[in-house]
Structure 1
Amino acid sequence: MMEPTTIEGLHCANCGELLKGEFCHHCGQSVHSVLKPVHHTAEEIVETVLHVDSRILHTLPALFLKPGFLTLEYFAGRRVRYIAPFRLMFVLCLLTFFVLHLVTNEKISRTFEQRQTTVLLDHGQAFAQASNADDVRSILQNKLDALNAVQTFGDSSTFAQAAKAKQQLLEAANRRLAELHAPPLPPSSVAAEGHQTSSFDHPIKPIQIGWLPGFANQRLTSMLQHLRDNWHTYQHGDPVSSEAAKERMISGVFGKLPGAMLVLVPVFALLLKLFYLFKRRLYMEHLIVALHSHAFLFLWLLLCTLLALLAGWLEPHAAWTAYPFNWLERILVLWAPVYLLLMQKRIYRQGWLMTVVKYWFIGWLYFWLLLVVLLVAGALGIAH
């Protein structure tokens, strides 16, 4: 479909209003048709992406380096150049917890690999010291127990690694048994030992809270049952079940954290409203302050995580980078409390004494609220 070369005399296809520009001033619909060739659609997608990128370039540096600047710009009505506060905070929240989840799984997997290497490193010498078949079996069992103990902390790939490591141990043990003219051990001997999963034959007692509706009591009972089952399986299950329970709990916790942080934002805005009650500001103004404060904290946490990853990757190859990275990490850690204090001072425009006192009380109350919310999110995640 051809695009109109002029809008003079045209009427809006949606509401019939006479058009005075490319967008209807009555309903807001564009005069341009959505039925376009593919190459025009691709051009619009590129334009949209570049437009978003330009807003990111205006928003993120100002958010991180200029305390309170974005908030004051919103109060002054200059909003088009910047990403909206809620979208900014929400995207940074999801991105930060996504990266933290990846880093957590990577560290857990690395811990398993290091422990596995330690177990396998000296297996030849250990079995060589065995003087009889019973010693070989005892050494094998000790090393299998060591692998089983750390395997439950690995990710989904570590179970295959552990199976390969156990096979190597079995082969080394059988070589020593052959030298001692003893019968070899069957493959079933490398099966995971230790605690077996004890099933919960009796469900927990149903929760009955009088002022809650029936479905809420049932939900709480189900969550408590899942929490107990997951934790017990993680602690005492076989490696497969334990690893699956660990995956459920970690994924559940990281899945609940973004929602938990969203709950904290309006609560933090309410704290600001109470402490600055006589400033006669609208609650929405405090909410924008809270959104930008949390967006900064998520961006700060993301940068701290990425900086730590970069330092850990570079130091083995260039040891001299340890000194500057240590200083950067210290500066970054100190920047968060300084930034929030300067932001509070700049926005609410009180003297330094009152600003510091209120900053301390708000921070103290927020710390306990954050702790409670994180504990609840952790419990909900374990009950996943």
Structure 2
Amino acid sequence: MSEAQDHPTPTHCENCAAPLQGHYCHQCGQSIVNPLRHAGHALEEVFESFWHLDGRIFRTVRDLLSPGRVALNYLRGHRVRYVPPLRLFVILSVLTFFIAQFTVHFGEDDGGSYKGNGPMVIDGKKVRLGRTGERIENARSVSEVESERAQALKELEKARAAIPVGLPGGAQVGIAAGIKQVNAIADKRVAELRERARPDAAAEAAGIVAPAQEEENAALPATIENADSLAELEALRDERLKPLQAERAGIAAGNATALARNANAIRDINRRAGCRAAQLQIDHAVDTEGALKRKAATDAQTYGDGECNEGLTFFGNAPWDAETNPVVMAGAPEFFNRWLNKQIGRGYANFKRATQDPSLYEHAALSAVPSALFLLVPMFALLLKLTYLGSGRGYLEHLVVALYSHAYLCLSLLAMFLMFGLDAWISPHWSGFGWVAGIVEAGLWLWMPIYLLLMQKRVYGNGWLVTLLRYLVVGGCYFFMLAFAVGFLMIASLVRM
């Protein structure tokens, strides 16, 4: 016996007992379908209750593709056929940035960027350069620099020759960028070596110096940054620390300024030594592990941070430190300054993590954009209100236009993110799809501003010149605010990580 026979269609509403004359009760609005008796209707009710989705979503999305049609019809009172603007914007923005988490990836596979450390990645394939960039920077002679340069360029040329015919041009661009970067690092190091080896003019005139050709064989003075082994590094560290420790012993206990200066100098030497120790250990790991894949973030967690920078500074002052050199806002309460320096410390630590693992930037950006859009939709409506003061439309009507505009932008971004995913999935098997994906993505980017212009023209009905002028004013102000909001929220996301 069928389910329909088991549960015949009721003649009276199960909620209020009113006689039924259709699918819904005219008295209370309840449907005649009991979701407890029909699994399909139960699932439909879950989606309808959470998303309020029904056949209108397809009609709304279809009409949304025509610039201004949905907004204009909605403002004219044709509301029952469309999903309300706020609900549509929420649905599309959540769906868009959920999909983006799975399809948008940059960092490891960044099309050929090379920062001097680790393997270079070109179109998803790693070109093993070891740590050539770092070795060039630490080379002790011009001949050593040129040897490392030649090895790096040889690897890049080998990678260029291995690129299949017909592969999109991004690979060639990545190779060219890598060659340019290696040459830039090498040229800079050669200039530094020659500058250090350049003789004093008076001594050169007296004929006391060695000939210029011997510059290549001149070794650099031993420093922490160019120590060749951990043993040499520790000896150099102890040598630098001894006079500072002796100085500290002679500083009066009440001289806080001198003690802080001395402590900062000791800390700087220890920081530099720690960075060089990490570099040496990573170099040793690279040499012994051969062609195994490496990730800078993992190396940093295992061996320490090998990026020997000067630390965080503000306005050219001494490096920031939460204890010895904090940021202090004049007139602010002490608890606020403590909180501010805590946030600076977290943000700086997370920023350094993100330089090792660029996917953290990705997550920060993808979490910042939806929040920025939600915040700026009311501002976009306000810009429309101010720009169209003589249109006779109220703020809420402009808000409808703003919401449907942003819904279309989310729809376009969703299509673009899906193309990213298809590109990553199909291109390894068919390289020609990269061209197809690139054309579609470029078309979506180009059509978005055109769509918004046509939408503004259709909804407000002004002439082309007036519409274009107002469009440029609204667009310029809005994208300035959007860039600021995304940047601010991205920084906030990095701090909260």
User: What range describes the TM-score normalised by the shorter chain of this pair?
Assistant: 0.5 to 0.7
Question: C-alpha separation between the residues in 1 aligned to 2:427 and 2:360?
Answer: 33
1:45 aligned onto 2:43: yes
State how 1:281-360 maps to structure 2 within 5 Å.
Answer: 281-311=393-423, 313-360=425-472
* Structure 2 contact 67–454 (Cα < 8 Å) conserved: yes
Q: 1:358, CA displacement in angstroms?
A: 0.7
Match of 1:369 among 472, 481, 486: 481
Question: C-alpha separation between the residues in 2 aligned to 1:248 and 1:318?
Answer: 30
Question: C-alpha separation between the residues in 1 aligned to 2:408 and 2:337?
Answer: 35
Q: 1:280, CA displacement in angstroms?
A: 0.8
- Residue of structure 2 in register with 1:83 after alignment: 83
1:228 aligned onto 2:345: yes
Question: C-alpha separation between the residues in 2 aligned to 1:193 and 1:248?
Answer: 17
* Structure 1 contact 260–377 (Cα < 8 Å) conserved: yes
Match of 2:375 among 240, 243, 263: 263
* Structure 1 contact 249–381 (Cα < 8 Å) conserved: no
Question: C-alpha separation between the residues in 2 aligned to 1:220 and 1:31?
Answer: 63
**Equivalent AA in structure 2 for residue 107 of structure 1:** F
Unaligned runs of 5+ in 1: 130-134, 150-162, 174-189
Q: 1:84, CA displacement in angstroms?
A: 2.2
**Residues 200 and 83 of structure 1: CA distance in aligned 2, closer, same or farther (over 3 Å):** same
Question: C-alpha separation between the residues in 2 aligned to 1:19 and 1:218?
Answer: 68
**Residues 203 and 256 of structure 1: CA distance in aligned 2, closer, same or farther (over 3 Å):** farther
Higher CA-based Rg: 2
Identity %: 30
* Structure 2 contact 322–342 (Cα < 8 Å) conserved: no
Q: 1:383, CA displacement in angstroms?
A: 2.0
Q: 1:324, CA displacement in angstroms?
A: 4.5
Deviations, residues 294-345 of structure 1 (Å, cap 9, x unaligned)? 1111211222333344345544543444554444333322211111111111
* Structure 1 contact 96–298 (Cα < 8 Å) conserved: yes
Question: C-alpha separation between the residues in 2 aligned to 1:28 and 1:43?
Answer: 17
User: 3-state SS of the aligned residue for 2:95?
Assistant: helix
Give me the TM-score of the superposition, normalised by structure 2. Answer: 0.52
* Structure 1 contact 273–283 (Cα < 8 Å) conserved: yes
Q: 1:201, CA displacement in angstroms?
A: 4.1
User: 3-state SS of the aligned residue for 1:107?
Assistant: coil
Question: C-alpha separation between the residues in 2 aligned to 1:92 and 1:221?
Answer: 40
Q: 1:379, CA displacement in angstroms?
A: 2.3
**Equivalent AA in structure 2 for residue 7 of structure 1:** H
1:275 aligned onto 2:392: no
Q: Larger helix proportion, structure 1 or 2?
A: 1
User: 3-state SS of the aligned residue for 2:12?
Assistant: coil
* Structure 1 contact 250–381 (Cα < 8 Å) conserved: no
Deviations, residues 28-82 of structure 1 (Å, cap 9, x unaligned)? 5667777x34xx2443324775993633322223212x00111122123333333
Question: C-alpha separation between the residues in 1 aligned to 2:377 and 2:485?
Answer: 12
Give me the TM-score of the superposition, normalised by structure 1. Answer: 0.65
State how 1:120-139 maps to structure 2 within 5 Å.
Answer: none
Question: C-alpha separation between the residues in 1 aligned to 2:486 and 2:492?
Answer: 10
**Residues 209 and 62 of structure 1: CA distance in aligned 2, closer, same or farther (over 3 Å):** farther
- Residue of structure 2 in register with 1:67 after alignment: 67
Which stretch has the larger CA shift, 224-233 or 268-277?
224-233
- Residue of structure 1 in register with 2:16 after alignment: 12
Q: 1:172, CA displacement in angstroms?
A: 5.9
